[in-house]
Amino acid sequence: MVRPRLRPFYLWSILLIAGCNTDRPPLAPTTQPPPPPPPGGTIAFASTRDGPINYHIYTMNADGTGVTQLSNLANAADYEPAWSPDGNRIVFTSNRDSGYDIFVMNADGTGVTRLTSSGPASSRKPTWCGARIAFYSNRDGNYEIYVMNADGTGVTRLTFTQGTDASPAWSPDCAQIAFVSTRDGKWQLYVMNADGTAQTRLSDGTAGDSDPAWSPDGNRIAFKSDRGGNTDIYVMHADGTDITRLTNTATGGREPAWSLDGSRIAFTAFTSAPGGNYDIYVMNADGTGVIRVTDDPASDGVAAWRR
């Protein structure tokens, strides 16, 4: 007996039913990893947005929102802010009383107090750890590193060299200070004990290195270097080993500052656009995820993450 040939309609129905087998596991949905959370915390910085000549101190949320002006004295430049350990005060450099000296104010901009009186010399780049503030000054004729109590008393000189010593940066435990010096020729990174002893060079002398910033866990130091042909941000172990480049752009990077948890680094870079200027950026500690957090026609820089 010859069986009748199945019509195309019946074949299609059989295939459709077979494809609807509910015993087969469902396909896994395709998902993208969630975007990283926006940077948190508060950043103090200096900006010329209140005038084309003088810098003033501002604060903002780490994502660039909530910009607040703290200093606004006419005909004065206020910059190089650094937070107190409790986050309630900001120490900074200013020429408001002729010459550059170090001042402190409350985190809302009130209660400005002068800490140094260096004239006609200068005192600059304060950084705070515990009850002491480190800075550099040419009060003795050459730029050297000093420390003082948080009220400006007890000034002690730590370095004694023929080169320029500048830009101190405390280790998180306040036991050591990283700094830059020209004592061996080019700008190089050094570290010393908080009393000035055991001064040791960290960088190898092949490039100009500066702007040291110690990570919150004390294991790494971020810094600026021209070793790659352009000025960019690098990081190394606190003993000077394992140098890694974090930024690699034509606009470069400078003035790195770590977030409190060590997961991100704020830095300053030139914005290459018509009428370009310096702005503040934030990236992950491995150099990924760079975002621009200031976007103003004025120059913004010298970021300091609130502790």
Q: Which residues pair with 275 in a beta bridge?
A: none
How do residues 192-209 score in pLDDT, each as one tens digit? 999 999 999 999 888 999
Where do the structural domains in the chain lie, given as residue ranges?
A: 37-305
Q: What are the backbone dihedrals phi and psi of residue 123, each rounded to the nearest 5 degrees, phi first?
A: -130, 130
* pLDDT mean across residues, the chain: 89
How do residues 46-58 score in pLDDT, each as one tens digit? 999 987 778 999 9
Instruction: Determine if the peptide bond prior to 120 is cis (ω within 30°).
Output: yes
Reported as type and span, the H/E element at residue 268 is strand 264-270
How do residues 298-307 score in pLDDT, each as one tens digit? 999 999 999 7
Q: What superfamily in CATH does domain 37-305 come from?
A: TolB, C-terminal domain (2.120.10.30)
SS3 call for 18: helix
Q: What is the pTM of this model?
A: 0.86
Predicted local confidence at residue 271, as pLDDT: 83
CA distance linking residue 254 with residue 234, whole number of Å:
10
> Residue 243 — very low, low, confident or very high, per pLDDT cuts 50/70/90?
very high
